[in-house]
Amino acid sequence: MPEQLPGHRPTLEAVAERAGVSRATASRVVNGGDGVRAHLVEKVREAVLELGYVPNPAARTLVTRRTGAVAVIIAEPEIRIFSDPFFSRQIRGISKELTAHDTQLVLLLVEDRGDYDRIERYLAGGHVDGALAFSLHTDDPLPAITRRVGMPTVYGGRPGWTAGSGEHGGIAYVDADNRGGAREAVRHLLDRGRRRIAHIAGPLDQTSAVDRLDGYRDVLLDADPALIAEGDFTATGGAEAMAALLERCPDLDAVFAANDLMATGALRVLRERGLAVPADVALVGFDDAELVAETADPPLTTVRQDIEGMGRLMAQLLLRTLNREQGDRAVPASVVTPTALVRRGSS
Amino acid sequence: MPEQLPGHRPTLEAVAERAGVSRATASRVVNGGDGVRAHLVEKVREAVLELGYVPNPAARTLVTRRTGAVAVIIAEPEIRIFSDPFFSRQIRGISKELTAHDTQLVLLLVEDRGDYDRIERYLAGGHVDGALAFSLHTDDPLPAITRRVGMPTVYGGRPGWTAGSGEHGGIAYVDADNRGGAREAVRHLLDRGRRRIAHIAGPLDQTSAVDRLDGYRDVLLDADPALIAEGDFTATGGAEAMAALLERCPDLDAVFAANDLMATGALRVLRERGLAVPADVALVGFDDAELVAETADPPLTTVRQDIEGMGRLMAQLLLRTLNREQGDRAVPASVVTPTALVRRGSS
């Protein structure tokens, strides 16, 4: 049974007395439980309002075994989280959804591998009800951790980790149609008459990068391998990949970069080399990240994904999992959201 | 007493037996408590190593009443936290220090006032041992909350809140010498021969903005009030303030902006009006925020504060407070770190 805080706050006993019900019944109503008849629920709610009763949340946790908090874990160093608007936008979506359900967002930073021991302890310590994890790499220890501590988790991005690769079946995730979006980007460049289309891939230990590369290859079945360079989803990495591509293939006439930040890095290198965009080299990005694609000069043609919406979906999926009663129908395990080409000046 | 996880992990009982001590003694050693004789401590440690004993952290929490986690609360909407490099830099400093002490950083976002009820519940729920709070506004509810739930808290920035204004005495905080830094910036502009020096202030419900304005006034005792415009620490706010200043005082020949982001907004407006920086108008910022001051065109003269170091200091101060035993000497309540003018092309 919940303990009330000492002092002048109205107690649950006072609520029960005013409503003319038992303390157990009052507790069940206050803590959102079922199995109380409607007219008694009504009486307890009236008493709560009249007395200005505020439930003790620590006590509520004891009854519901819920903390009302959800961890968000981004498997990237802090410097990337703060420099790539993708992350802030996804966090915004998650934050809106959790706030709408009065759930506290708890952001855990992962600077390096050593941090995972501490994160496992925190997750095992019962401080959150579930976790949202994104930007995982194939060798990420996080899936094994959440399994070990039995933490309900929804992932951002298609699972591709190698540890326990046979166990992706029941995993809930939200992803964009990366492969379809990449196909559309490359087809658009073909439509613009480009024939030597290069690809700056993301880090290929992430499924989003793999899927976008696959989409590129779906359209350009016999693509010259020299036209593909691997970046790391940062502007600096995009610049380095662009320089390597120009070295290898000075005749390239288009670039599809696997995200907008890498496209801005590529844009800088093209400008430094005196190549005009789009006249000499057409350029397409991916994300339609705010303050990046639209503000580039020229503005970037890009593949838009609904980043904020994906964050909301992740949070919804997790909350539905947490609120699911035994015997309820299964929660959909994954959602793939559509992408759309946004045409701007760079192509 | 700690409970051990079921299964094949070695138990605390096994450690105690191997070491030839009582379970209570073994528990005290494992959980870092005092009052165990040195040779017994040694025996228990040997047994831990031999058996490969791993303490159950939830159980350790029960014994030490510590969670090993610290909340970081930034009293700004997520969009500002992710767009102003000041915040990521301060978080980086905090993160490094907490990681060095095996303490989990838990970032709580505050989107609007309604979120504070939930944050109070989370802090009251015993999920963190202490809190670091920064970028507070004078009417912030956070100080009252941390007092109410008895949460040890260190603030970033001099306290200036109006609620309980007589109670700032015992509050631990870390701040930069905002007033001294501002004085140096303005004196530098005077040295460059400027005579109509404007100030773009930060939001005056924050002490950092108030202190920088006071520093400006310390040097320009009879400053024309028309030369002062209030911004909001964002680039957009800086641009709006610059436009207002040029409207009122078209003869201004220098601007001291209370942070680098506002200086970049001012720079954009000056360029749009055809005014050369520094030839027509000299410009000085504040922060020396990475990827802002140095990359501006021209690079910004600015007042550097050791943002990352301030984050580390906040974390150190909190950890020392948490680890303090009854009767220990008092922990220093506040630290003010020096600032330094960095001269670049804009002045």
Band the pLDDT of A310: cuts 50, 70, 90.
Answer: very high
Let me know if residue A345 belongs to a domain. no
Residue B233 has pLDDT above 50, yes or no: yes
CB B148 within 8 A of CB A57: no
State residue B332's pLDDT score.
62
Query: What is the model's pLDDT at position B212?
Result: 98
Could A115 and B92 be called an inter-chain contact, meaning their C-beta atoms sit closer than 8 Å?
no
Given a cut of 60, is residue A62 above it in pLDDT? no
Q: Give pLDDT, residue B329.
A: 59
State the Rg of chain A over Cα: 25
**CA gap B2, A331 in Å, rounded:** 36
Q: Are residues A300 and A326 in the same domain?
A: no
Highest mean pLDDT among A54-68, A273-287, B78-92: A273-287
Using CB atoms, pick whichever of A67, A107, A119 lies closest to residue B107: A107
Whether residues B271 and B224 fall in one domain: yes
How many angstroms separate the CA of residue B97 from the nearest CA in chain A? Answer: 12
| Mean of pLDDT values over A22-39 | 77
Cβ separation of A58 and B124 shorter than 8 Å?
A: yes
Q: How far apart are CA B286 and CA B186, in angstroms?
A: 11
| B149: contact with A, CB 8 A cutoff | no
Contacts of A201 (CB under 8 A, 6+ apart): A209, A212, A213, A228, A229, A230, A231, A241, A258
The pLDDT value given to residue B327 = 53
pLDDT, average across residues A260-283: 97
Q: How far is B182 from chain A (nearest CA, A)?
A: 28
Q: What is the pLDDT of residues B317-342, one digit of tens each?
A: 999 888 875 455 566 678 999 999 99
Residue A210 lies in a domain: yes
- By mean pLDDT, which of A3-7, A244-248, B292-296 is the weakest? A3-7
Q: What is the pLDDT of residues B123-151, one digit of tens each?
A: 988 899 999 999 999 888 999 999 888 89
Average pLDDT (B44-54) is: 78
pLDDT-wise least confident of A102-106, A230-234, B168-172: B168-172
Q: Which residues of A touch B122 (CB under 8 A)?
A: 67-69, 104, 106
Interface check for B115 against chain A (CB to CB < 8 A): the answer is yes
Q: Is residue A2 part of a domain?
A: no
Q: Shortest Cα distance from B99 to chain A (angstroms)? A: 8
Task: State yes or no: pLDDT of B57 exceeds 60.
Answer: no
Q: How confident is the model at residue B7, as a pLDDT?
A: 42
Whether A101 and chain B come into contact, CB under 8 Å, resolves to no
The residue type of A344 is R
Which two structure tokens, joined as six digits, stand for A32? 């959102």
- CB-based contact A92 B104, cutoff 8 Å: no
Average pLDDT, chain B: 87
Quick one: tokens of A224? 């010259």
Is B36 or A239 the better-scoring residue by pLDDT?
A: A239
Q: Suggest the residue from A109, A117, A297 to mutate for an interface test with chain B (most B CBs closer than 10 A).
A: A109
Are B85 and A82 inside 8 Å of each other by CB? yes
Chain B CB contacts of A118 under 8 Å are: 68, 99, 102-104
- Spatial distance between the Cα atoms of A237 and A255, rounded to a whole number of angstroms: 14
- pLDDT value of residue B9: 59
Q: What does the pLDDT average to over A3-29?
A: 73
Is there a domain that residue A20 lies in?
yes
CATH code assigned at A263:
3.40.50.2300
CA distances from B80 to A37, B261, B284 (A): 47, 11, 22
Nearest to A67 among B57, B61, B127 (CB): B127
Q: Give the rounded percent of residues in chain A with a pLDDT score beyond 90.
A: 58
Same domain, B134 and B196: no
Q: Which of A88, A103, A108 sits opposite B82 (nearest CB)?
A: A88
Do residues A148 and A206 both lie within one domain? no
Sequence-ordered list of residues with C-beta below 8 angstroms from that of B298, at least 6 positions apart, any chain: B277, B278, B344, B345, B346
Residue A92: closest C-alpha in chain B: B78
Residues A202 and A284 in one domain: yes
- The answer, for B102 touching chain A at a CB cutoff of 8 Å, is yes
Residues of B in contact with A119 (CB under 8 A): 104
What's the pLDDT at B31?
A: 65
Boundaries of domain holding A127: 69-175+309-338
Q: Residue A153 half-sphere exposure, CB side, CA atoms within 13 Å?
A: 26
Does B264 lie in the same domain as B116?
no
Instruction: Tell me: do A203 and A299 sit in the same domain.
Output: yes
Do residues B267 and B243 lie in contact, with contact meaning Cβ atoms separated by under 8 Å?
A: no
- B7 belongs to a structural domain: no
Q: Looking at residue A49, what is its pLDDT?
A: 77
Are residues B240 and B168 both part of a single domain? no
Q: Does B78 contact A95 at a Cβ distance shorter than 8 Å?
A: yes
Say if CB B67 and CB B127 are below 8 A apart: yes
Amino acid at A230: E
Least confident of A41-50, A124-133, A143-152: A41-50
Question: B107 and B140 in one domain?
Answer: yes
Interchain contact, A95 vs B118, CB within 8 Å: no
pLDDT score of A168: 60
- Amino acid of residue A124: A
Interface residue of B56, B122, B291 to substitute, partner A, most A CBs within 10 Å: B122
Number of cross-chain residue pairs from A and B with Cβ atoms under 8 Å apart:
110
Same domain, A42 and A122: no
Query: In whole angstroms, how large is the CA radius of gyration of chain B?
Result: 25
Measured between CA atoms, how close is B108 to chain A, in angstroms? 5
What is the b/e burial string over B65-84, where b = at least 16 CB atoms within 10 angstroms of the residue's CB? ebbbbbbbbbbbbbebbbbb
Q: Which of the two residues, A280 and B325, has the higher pLDDT score?
A: A280
The answer to the question of residue A6 being in a domain is: no
Provide the β-strand partners of residue B283. B255
Q: Using CB atoms, pick whichever of A88, A102, A108 lies closest to residue B106.
A: A108
Percent of chain B with pLDDT over 70: 88
CA–CA dist B276, B241 (Å, integer)? 18
Three-class SS of residue B221?
A: coil
Q: Are B207 and B180 in contact (CB under 8 A)?
A: no
Amino acid sitting at position B347: S
pLDDT band at A165 (very low <50, low <70, confident <90, very high): very low
Q: Are residues B140 and B212 in the same domain?
A: no
Distance from the Cα of A87 to chain B's closest Cα (Å) equals: 9
**Structural domain count of chain A:** 3
Give the 3-state secondary structure of residue B306: coil
Task: Name every chain B residue with its beta carbon within 8 A of the beta carbon of A91.
Answer: 78, 82, 109
Residue A343 maps to a domain = no
Give the model confidence (pLDDT) of B178-228 as tens digits.
Answer: 999 999 999 999 999 999 999 999 999 999 999 999 999 999 999 999 999
Residue ending a domain, choose from A64, A84, A102 = A64
pLDDT in tens, B82-107: 888 899 899 999 999 999 998 999 99
**Residue A127 touches chain B, beta carbons under 8 Å:** yes
Distance from CA of A107 to the nearest CA of B (A): 5
> Of B90, B140, B85, which is closest to residue B110 (Cα–Cα)?
B140
Query: Does a structural domain hold residue B4?
Result: no
CB contact under 8 A, A95 and B104: no
- Percentage of chain A exceeding pLDDT 70: 88
User: Would you tell me which residues 33-92 of chain B have a C-beta closer than 8 angstroms to some C-beta of chain A?
Assistant: 57-58, 61, 67-69, 78-79, 81-83, 85, 87-88, 91-92
Comparing CB atoms, the residue among B67, B78, B291 nearest residue A88 is B78
Given pLDDT bands bounded at 50, 70 and 90, which one contains residue A11? confident
Same domain, A168 and A111: yes
Q: In chain B, which residues have their Cβ closer than 8 Å to the Cβ of A106? A: 106-108, 122, 127
In which region does residue A288 sit, left (phi positive, over 0), alpha (psi from -120 to 50) or beta (all else)? left
Subunit contact A109:B107, Cβ cutoff 8 A: yes
Contact assignment for B57 to A115 by CB distance below 8 Å: no
Nearest residue, CB atoms, B58 vs list A87, A88, A125: A125
Gap from A57 CA to chain B (nearest CA, Å): 6
Chain B environment of A114 (Cβ under 8 Å): 99
CATH number at residue A34: 1.10.260.40
Measure the CA–CA gap between B272 and B265, rounded to whole angstroms: 11
